[in-house]
Structure formats: C-alpha cells, structure tokens
Structure 1
Amino acid sequence: MQAVRKLSKYVKPYILFAIIAPVMMLIEVGMDLLQPTILKHIIDDGIAKGDTSYIVKMFGLMLATSLIGLIGGVGCSIYASRTAVNFSTDLRHDLYETITYFSNKSKDKFTLGKLVTNLTSDIEMLQRALTMLLKIFVRGPMMFIGAIVIVFITARELFPILLVVVPILAFFMYYFTALSGKLFYKVQKVVDLVNTKVQENLAGIRVIKAYNRKDHQIEQFANVNTQLMKRSMMADQIIGVLGPLTMFIVNLGIVAALWMGAIKVDNNTLQVGVILAFINYLMMVMHGLTSSSNVLIQLARAIPSAERIVKVLEEQTELTSPKNVDKHLINGSVTFENVHFSYVKETEAVLKNISFHVNAGETVGIIGMTGSGKSTLVKMLPRLFDVDRGVVKIDGRNIKDYDLQYLRAAVGYAPQKATLFSKTIAENLLYGKAEATEQDILEALAAANAQEFVDTLPARNEHVLTQGATNLSGGQKQRLAMARAFIRQPQLLILDDVTSAVDSISEKTIQNAITSKFAAATKFIVSSKISSIRHADQIFVMDDGQIVAQGTHEELLKTSPLYQEMARTQAEKGVTVGE
C-alpha cells in the first residue's frame, strides 16, 4: 500500500475529477435504491387497491429516478475515465523519462522485458484499478449499506435472513480476494518472462534462423507460454468459482425469503410488495459485495504493479550531474589517471590502471584483440559508465564535475553497433543536432560517404527506415551512424569500429573528411584494422584491459610485438596496413 500512496501524487492534478466521479455515482446509487421501494408501493398501494392514478404517478416517479440515475452513471464514467487516463499518461511519461536516464547497470538490473511490462501492462493495470475504484468501489459499498438499512426499516420481518446471508457472502469474498491477489502476482512474474523471451527472440531472429534454431526457440517460448497459461487458468478459475458460489448463497436467501414471506402473507402480517422489494434489495446486497470484491481483486492485482513501478521510479542511477555547475567551454583535452572498471564488480576488471593524456585536436587510434577493452574505454568519455577507481578528466576537470547533458552535447559518438530509429534518414541525423539545416544534413552525409547510396533511394533523405533499419545494409547503417555523429560538429568525436562493414575506398573518403572537417576536434577511433588508425597522432595498443603499447604507427612497428603481429596477420590476409 505504501507504493500506492507514493503514486497518489499523480491523481492530485485531477482531484476535482476524482471527487466529481464518486459524487455522480452516489446519485446513481441513491436512485437505484429507491426503485424497489417505489415498486413495493406500486404493488401494495396501487395494484392491490386498484388505484390507477397512483400507479401512473409512481410510474412517473420511477421513470424520473431512472433518468437521474442514468445521468449520474454517465457522469461518473466520464470523470472517472478522465482521472484514470490522465493519471496513467502522466505516470507513463515520468516512468519513460526515468528509464531514459538509467545507466546500463540499472537497465540490466530490471531487464528490458520487465521495463516494457512496467510501461504497458503494469500501468494499464493501475489505470483499470483507479477507474474501478472511482466507479464501482463507491457503488458497491453504498448499495450494500443502503440496501441493508432500507430492509431494516421497511422489511424488518425478513431482516434475519440478511444476518445469515451477508456474513457468509463476506467470508467467501474475503477469502477468494486474498487468494486471487497472490495468484495474479505469480501471473505477472510469468508475463515478465514472456515479454523478455519475445523481445530476445525478435531481436535475435536472424541469428536464430542462421543457426537453424527456430524450433528450439519455439519450444522455449512454448514452455514459458504454458507456464503463463497454467497460472492464468488457475487464477481465473478461482475467480470463476466466486460468482456461482455467491449466487447459490443468494438463491438460498431468496428461497428463505419466499418461504417466510408466504407464511407471513398468509397470516396477513406482510404484504407481497415487501417480499418483492426484499428480494431486490437482497440482489443489491449481493451485487454490492460482488462489485466490491471485484475492485479488491483488481487492487490486489494492481498493488504488485504499483510496487514494481515505484522501484523503477526510485532507482538511483550512479550517473548524476552536479547542481549549479558552471558550463565551461569544452576544448577536448582528455586525461585518464589510473582508471579501473568492471561491468560486474565481483569479476575481473575490464579496464586496468589506464593512464594517458591526449591534447585537444589530436587523433587517437585504439586497437587490440577482441575483448581487450577498446570499446569500454571510449564509453567512459560520454559517461555511459563511471569508473570504479581512478579519474577521467576533460580539459583538466573531473568528468563528473560537468553537467551530464552539457558534456554529452560536446560528444559525437558512433557506437560499434549502429542503432537507427524507425524514422526518416533526415530525422535520424537530427538526433545528432535538432536544429541542423538541410545543408548540414547534406554535408554530414557527404563526410560519411553516405550521400551516394542515399541519392539512389526513392525519397532520398526522407526515406523511412524500418525498425532496426533492416532495409539497409550493415555498411549503410554504419555510415548513417557516422553522419549522425558528424552533424554535431563535436569537440570530442568517438568512432567505435564503425568502418568494419565499409569498403576501403569509402573508408579512405571518410578518413579524409575527418582530417579536413574535424581538425579541431579530439578524435578517438577504435578499429580492428590498422589501416583505419595508422595516421593517428597516438595509437594505443590494448590487451587484457591494459594499454600495453603507445606511439605512432611507425614507432609501434618497431617497438610493439603485439602491434607487429597484428600488422603481419592483416598483411597476410591482404589487408593494407601502410600506404
């Protein structure tokens, strides 16, 4: 319940709607409660006495109460929906915003499947629960209490039946509500597994097909899906038992009322209309309890969702910005001092005692074997991760002393895996610089040697990419990712092995563009090919998370056995390493 209280702040902006909805529902319930009493008077005071005018008058009263009840019900639905929909919209917005600020560590902690569930089914569950709370949870108890009070006043002879039926109904509803809450919590956990499995399989569909593992993945998904089926079926069956059981108890009450009523009518101590009114009120008692129970079940399902969402909202990311920091102009000199980092703290460090200095405007090449820590090193610069030990400095200031958004605005980063969005090519480039002009886009595409293939597309810059840019080749995606980094005109340009799928001619064009257009920027170029970095001012050779050699291309060919081995291996494979 503490999580529910924490989320109640999202209702406060719409508190007026949240008040009007129950008030309108009270009007509808009040009118519904009058109906059996009016019916009783029609039978006992109108039909029994043959008073036609009285019957017509009471019929008009019944019609009026029905109309007022209709207005109350419609009004309640409108304002309850407004409250719940606005609540869920604001909550979803804040939740998404929180997730976008997550570090990779936080994302791994919650998993993408769970986060997707939080943004979709969990919020939908809360929206449904709030709607029911404002509508049915007012209607149920008020109808239950109102019906009991009216029976006590108008049909006291039959009131003992309620004293037996109501406690039995209340017990069963409490028991089934508590049980269903536990069952639906287990259902939600399996929903997470299903979402994770679907996301994982769809993201890796090409690998699955390439390794002919389709049947295996289908079988795995079927196992998870079967778990969801079994738990959902058990929860639904438990809820399904409640309806017939309560109806059976109410029917017993009706039989008892008819039996007792028949005796009292025969003795002229009770009128027929009273019996009919009592049966109606008994049904109202049942519906009041049932609807209240349904709301409690929905709340029982919603509380775990609320707890999960609050955990995400309260997650403290280690990547924070200092407050009221001066935004000094970033020139681009970079210093690493004894930097250590590991993705999982209990395992061996990925970066070990990394120290170097790079002057603003220099080009740094980083090369090494797979898993040597090349990509991890450059991810420290835009603070995609924070170091475990040591310090990263830009222009002599600790990188943590910069405003995070200001720092990243100075960085143009093209990651190893080109991530493009399902928008137009132009819109993807505008992710790098929102205010970029058409000329800026053309220049960035030209610098990345992407204009040649973009011009062949029917819509050119307005060509819409599919999800994951599956309608482009690997090399085309890499060039667009570079263009997105180029368009920023950054002080720090990071290219993380982005020419691996680019031909040598295109790579040469890109290298010339980097040299001429980004002379003032500090450039970090990660590559597995010596030809991509041989012109760098400094080259770092990495092995097992350490910089084992440092120098120019010519110096390393003389002093670094590992660099010599890579040069020899690439030459044997026909890869050019020199001019």
Structure 2
Amino acid sequence: MQAVLSLKKYLKPYMVFAIIAPVMMLLEVAMDLVQPTIMQHIIDNGIAKGDTAYVFQMFGLMILCAVIGLIGGVGCSIYASKTAINFSADIRQDLYETITYFSNSNKDRFTLGKLITNITSDVEMLQRALTMLLKMFIRGPFTFIGAIVIVFLTARELFPILLVVVPILAFAIFFFTRLSGKLFLKVQEAVDGVNIRVQENLAGIRVIKAYNRKHHQIQQFTSVNENLMKRNIHADQIIGILMPLTAFVVNMGIIAALWMGAIKVENSTIEVGVILAFINYLMMIMGGLMGSSSVLMQIARAIPSAKRIVAVLEEQSEITNLENPVLTPIKGEVEFDQVSFAYNKNNEPVLKNITFKAKPGETIGIIGMTGSGKSSIINLIPRMFDVDKGVIRIDGLPIKEYDLSMLRGAIGFTPQKATLFSRTIEENVRYGNNEATMEEFIEALEASCAFEFVEKLDTKEQYRVTQGATNLSGGQKQRLAMARALIRKPAILILDDTTSAVDSISEKRIQKAIEENFRESTKFIVSSKISSLRHADKILVLDDGVIVGQGTHEELLEKNKAYQEIVSTQLVRGGTLHE
C-alpha cells in the first residue's frame, strides 16, 4: 500500500476533478436509495388505496429522481475518467523519462520486457483502479450504508435478516479480495515472461528465420503463453466463485424475507410494499458490497503494479552528475589511467589496467580479437558505464566531473550496431544535431558516403526508414549512423566498427573525408581490419582486456607479435594487405 501512497503526488494536479467525481456519484446514490421507498409508498398508499393521483404524483417523483441520478452518474464518469487518464499519462511520462536516463546496468537489472510491462499494462492497471475507485468505491459503501439505515428505519421487522446476511457477505469479500492480490501478482509476472519472449523473438526474427528455428521459438512462446493462461484461469476461477456465492447468500436472504414477510403480512404487522422495498434494498446492499469488492480487488491487482512502477521511478541511475559539474567546453584530450572495468562486478574484469593518452586531433585505432574489450573502452568515454578502478580524464579533468549532457554533446558516437529510428533519413541524421543547416546536413551525408544512395531514393532525404531499418542494407544503415555522428562536428569522434558492411572504396573516401574535415577532433576508430586503422596516429592492440601494444602501424608491425599475427591473417597472395 505504501507504493500506492507514494504515487499520490500524480493525483494532486487533478484533485478538483477527483473531488467532483465522488460528489456527483453521491448524488446518483442518493437518488437510487430513494427509489425503493417511493415504490413502497406507491404500492401501500397509492395502489392499495386506489389513489390514482397519488400514484401519478409518485411516478413523476421517480422520473425526476432518475434524471437527477443520470446527471450525477454521467458527471461522475466524465470527471473520474479525466482524473484517471491524466494521472496515468503523467506516470507513464515520468516512467519513460526515468528509463531514458537509466544506465545500461539499470536497464539490464530490470530487463526490457519488464520495463515495457511497467510502461504499458502496469500503468493501465493503475488507471483502471483509480477509475473504479472514484466511481464504485463511493457508490459501494454509501449504497451499502444507506440501504442498511433505511431498512432499519422503515422495515425494522426484517432487519434481523441483514444481521446474518451482511457478515457472511463481508467475510467472503474480504477473503477473496486478499487472495486476489497474491493471484494477480503471479499473473503480472507471467505477463513479464510473455513480453520478454516477444521482445527477444521480434528483435532476432532474422536469425530465427535464417536458422529455420521458427517452430522452436513458437514452442518456447507457447510455454510462457500457457503459463500466463494457467495463472489467469486459476485467478479468474478463484475470484469467479465470489459472485455466485454472494448471489446465493442474497437469494437466501430474499427467501427469508418473503417467508417472514408473508407471516407478518398475514398478522397485519407489515405491508406488502415494505417487503418489496426490503428486497430492493437487500439487492442494493449486495450491489454495494460487490461494487466495493470489485474496487478492492482492482486495488489488490494494482498494488503489485504500483510496487513495480515505484521500483523503476525510485531507481537511481548509476551514471549521474556531480552536484556542481564542470561546464567548460571540451577540446578533446583523452587519457586512460590504469582503468579496469567489469560488466558484472562478480566476474573477471573485461578491461585491466588500460593506460594511454590521445591528444586533440589525433586518430586512435583500436584492434584486437573478438571479446578483447575494444567496444568496452570506447563505451567508457561517453560514460555509458563508469570504471571500477583507475580514472579517465578529458582535458586533464576526471570524466565524472563534467556535466553529463555537455560531455555527451561533445562526442559523436556511432555504436557497433547501427541503430536508426522509424523516421525520415533527414530526421535520423539530424538526430545528431537538430540545429544543423541543410548545407551541414549534406556535408555529413557526403562525408559518410551516404549522399550517393540517398539521392537515388524516390523521396531522397525524406525517405522514411521502417522500424529496424529493414528497408535499408547494412552498409546504408552504417553510413547514415556515421552521418548522424559527423553532423555534430564533435570534439571527440567515436566510430565502433562502423565500416564493416561498407565496401573498401567507400571506406577510403570516408577516411579521407574524416581526415580533412575533422582535423581538430580526437578520433577513436575501432575495427577488426588493419586497412581501417593503418593511417592512425596510434594503434592500441588489445588481447583479453589488456593493451599488449601501442604505436603506429609501422612500429607495431616491426615490434609487436600480436599485431603481426593479426596482419598475417589479413594478407593475401603477394603480401598485400586485404582491403
């Protein structure tokens, strides 16, 4: 319940709506409670005595009450919906912003599937709970209490029946409400499993098709889907017992009321209208309790969702600014001083005592076998992760002292996997610098050799990229991702194996353009190809997270055995490097 209370701040801006909705519902409840009493008077004082004028007068009063109740019900629905929808939209917005600022470690801890569940079904669950709370939780208790009070005042001879029926109903509702919270927590966990499986399968759909593993993945999905189905069925079956059970108890109460009423009517101690009114009020009592139980069950279902949402909102990103970060413009000098890093702090470091220095304008090549730590090094520069030991300095200051937004704003970063958004090509490239002129936009396309294929598209730079950029080739995606980094004209340019799908001629043109247009930028180029790095001012050779050599291509070729082995594997006949 503490999690639910911690979300109350999202309700404050809409408190006026949240107050109007229950007030309107009270109006509807009051009109509903009056109706059986009016009907009692129609039967006992109108029909029984043949007073037609009185009957029509009471009918008119019933219609008036029904209209007023309609106004109250519609008003309650409108304001309750406004409150709940705005409440959930604000939570969803904060969740998205919080997730956006998460470090990679934070995201890995929650997993993408669970975060998707948080921002969709968990928020939806809270919205439904609040809507029902504003509508039914006022209606239920007030209908229940009002009906009991009216029965006590107008049909005291039948009141003992309520003393038996109401406690039984209350106990049943309390028991099933408590049970529903535990059951639907398991349901929500099963929903996580389905979301995770769907997210993984859709992300890897090409691999699944390439390896003809569709049936295997379908079987895996079937397993998690059946688990969700079983938990849903179990929860619904258990909770489904409540309605027929309460209906049975109420029906027993009605039978008792008719039996006692018949005796008392025969003895002339009660009138027929009172019995009918009592039955109506008994149904209202059941409706009130059932309405309250529905709200309580919805709240019980929403509490696990609230806990999960609060856990995300309260999660502190591992990558944060200092209290007074440095805002000095970055020139581009980068220094690693005895840096060690591990993705999982319980495992062996993937980087061990990394030390090197890059001066502004220099080009640093990074090469090594797969898994040697190449991408890990460059991911530390924009603080995608923080180091475990040692320090990274930029322009002589520890990287943690810089304002995070300013630091990343000074870096043009192209990750190993070219990620494009389902927007136009222009929007994707301008993602790097939305203030860039059209001339700068064209320059970035030309520098990355993307202009040549963009110009051939039907709508050119307005060509819309599909989700996952499935309508572009691997090389086209890489060139557009590179253009997005180049348009920033950054102090530090990081290219992580961004020409692996680019032909050798285009790669040479890209290298030349970067060399000419980004002379003052510090450039980090990660590649497994010697041809991509041989022009670098300094090449770092990595092996199992350790720098086993650094120098120019010629120096390493002469003295470094690890580099010589890499070169030898890329030689073709005639001793020429394969480019």
| Fold match by TM threshold 0.5 | yes
Distance 2:30 2:578 in 1: 90
Instruction: Tell me what 1:197 maps to.
Output: 197
What is the alpha-carbon distance in structure 2 between the residues aligned to residue 540 and residue 41 of structure 1? 96
In the aligned structure 2, how far is the partner of 1:556 from the partner of 1:475?
A: 30
Aligned to 2:313: 313
The 5-angstrom pairing of residues 145-224 of structure 1 reads 145-224=145-224
Q: Deviations over 1:413-436 (max 9, x none)?
A: 000000100111011111100112
Residues 190-234 of structure 1 show CA distances to partners (whole Å, capped at 9, x for unaligned) of: 100000000001111111111111111111110111111111001
In the alignment, which residue of structure 1 is the partner of 2:431?
431
CA distance, structure 2, for counterparts of residue 28 and residue 576 of structure 1:
88
Could you tell me how far 1:572 is from its partner in structure 2?
Answer: 3.0
1:210-289 to 2 correspondence within 5 Å? Answer: 210-289=210-289
Q: Percent identity?
A: 69
**Which amino acid is 2:217 matched to?**
Q
Q: Deviations over 1:165-196 (max 9, x none)?
A: 11111111111111121111101001000000
Q: Which structure 2 residues correspond to residues 78-93 of structure 1 after superposition, within 5 A?
A: 78-93=78-93
What CA distance in whole angstroms lies between the structure 1 residues aligned with 2:104 and 2:574? 38
State the Cα RMSD in Å. Answer: 1.1
Counterpart amino acid of residue 363 in structure 1: T
Asked if the contact 2:337/2:355 (under 8 Å) is kept, the reply is yes
Cα contact 1:531–1:576 (8 A) shared by 2: no
Q: CA deviation at 1:324?
A: 3.3
CA offset digits 1:518-539 (Å, max 9, x no partner): 0010000000001101111111
Q: Distance in 2 between matches of 1:426 and 1:435?
A: 12
> Which segment is superposed worse, 205-214 or 406-415?
205-214
SS of aligned partner of 2:434: coil
Deviation at 1:574, TM superposition (A): 9.1
Aligned-pair CA distance for 1:576: 5.5
- Offset of residue 437 of structure 1: 2.0
Matched, 1:369 2:356: no
Equivalent residue number for residue 539 of structure 2:
539
Matched ranges for 1:310-349 at <5 A: 310-349=310-349
Structure 1 residue 279: deviation in Å? 0.3
Report whether the alignment pairs 1:548 with 2:548: yes
Q: Distance in 2 between matches of 1:578 and 1:18?
A: 71
Q: What amino acid does structure 2 have at the position aligned with 1:531? A: S
List per-residue Cα deviations over 1:23-61 (Å, max 9, x = no partner): 110010000000000000111111111111111111111
Aligned residue in 2 for 1:413: 413
Structure 1 residue 494: deviation in Å? 0.1
Partner of residue 131, structure 2: 131
Amino acid corresponding to residue 287 of structure 1 in structure 2? G
Whether 1:504 aligns to 2:523 is: no
Deviation at 1:244, TM superposition (A): 1.1
For 2:392, give the aligned amino acid: V
TM-score by length of 1: 0.99
| CA offset digits 1:311-348 (Å, max 9, x no partner) | 00111111001233341111000111100000011111
Task: Quote the Cα distance in structure 1 between the aligned partners of 2:49 and 2:341.
Answer: 93
SS of alignment partner, residue 472 of structure 1:
coil
Work out whether residues 571 and 578 of structure 2, in 8 Å CA contact, stay in contact via their aligned partners in 1: no
- Encode CA deviations 1:342-395: one digit per residue, 9 max, x unaligned: 001111100000011111111101111100100000011100010001100000
Aligned counterparts, 1:442-481, within 5 A: 442-481=442-481
Gap runs ≥5 in structure 2: none
- Are residues 24 and 573 of structure 1, via their aligned partners in 2, closer, same or farther at CA, if it must alter by over 3 Å? farther
- Deviation, structure 1 residue 445: 0.6
Secondary structure of the structure 2 residue equivalent to 1:49: coil
Deviations 1:466-499 (A, max 9, x none): 1110111111100000000000000000000000
Change (3 A) 1:496 1:574: farther
Distance 1:500 1:53, change over 3 A: same
Tell me what 2:32 maps to.
Answer: 32
Q: Distance in 1 between matches of 2:207 and 2:575?
A: 27
d(CA) in 1 for partners of 2:252, 2:52:
35
- Is the Cα contact below 8 Å between 1:534 and 1:578 reproduced in 2? no
Superposition map of 1:390-401 within 5 A: 390-401=390-401
Q: Distance in 2 between matches of 1:465 and 1:356?
A: 39
- Distance in structure 2 (CA, Å) of the matches to 1:402 and 1:468: 33
**Is the contact made by 1:538 and 1:550 (CA closer than 8 Å) also made in structure 2?**
yes
Change (3 A) 1:267 1:547: same
Structure 1 counterpart of 2:133, one-letter code: L
Structure 1 residues 331 and 578: CA distance shift in structure 2, 3 A: farther
Task: Write the deviation string for residues 47-88 of structure 1: whole angstroms up to 9, x where unpaired.
Answer: 111111111111111111111110111111111101100000
Q: Residue 302 of structure 1 corresponds to which residue in structure 2? A: 302
SS at match of 2:327: coil
CA offsets 1:546-570 (integer angstroms, 9 cap, x no match):
1110100111110111111111110
The structure 1 segments of at least 4 consecutive aligned residues displaced by more than 2 Å after TM superposition are 323-326, 572-579
Please give the alpha-carbon distance, in whole angstroms, between the structure 2 residues aligned to 1:437 and 1:360.
26
Code of the residue aligned with 1:314 in structure 2: it is E
Q: Distance in 1 between matches of 2:234 and 2:374?
A: 51
Aligned match of 1:57: 57
Equivalent residue for 1:11? 11
Deviations 1:111-136 (CA, angstroms, capped at 9, x unpaired):
00000000000000000000000110
Matched to 1:387, the amino acid is V
Q: Name the counterpart of 2:95.
A: 95
Give yes or no for the alignment of 1:107 onto 2:111: no
Distance in 2, matches of 1:181 and 1:348, equals 41
Alignment of 1:422 with 2:407, yes or no, is: no
In 2, Cα distance between the equivalents of 1:510 and 1:254? 86
Distance in 2 (alpha carbons) for counterparts of 1:438 and 1:122: 43
Gap change, CA 1:379 and 1:358, over 3 Å in 2: same
Range 551-560 or range 434-443, more displaced: 434-443
8 Å CA contact 1:534, 1:577 repeated in 2: no
Contact kept in structure 2, 1:538 and 1:552, CA below 8 Å: yes
How far 1:237 moved relative to its partner? 1.0
Match of 2:20 in 1: 20
Q: Judge which range, 321-330 or 10-19, deviates more.
A: 321-330
Alpha-carbon spacing, 1:575–1:429, altered in 2? closer, same or farther (3 Å): farther
Q: Give the distance between the partners of 2:135 and 2:573, measured in 1 at CA.
A: 73
Q: Give distance in 2, aligned partners of 1:423 and 1:214.
A: 29
TM-score (norm 2): 0.99
The 1:68–1:574 alpha-carbon spacing in structure 2 relative to 1, beyond 3 Å, is farther
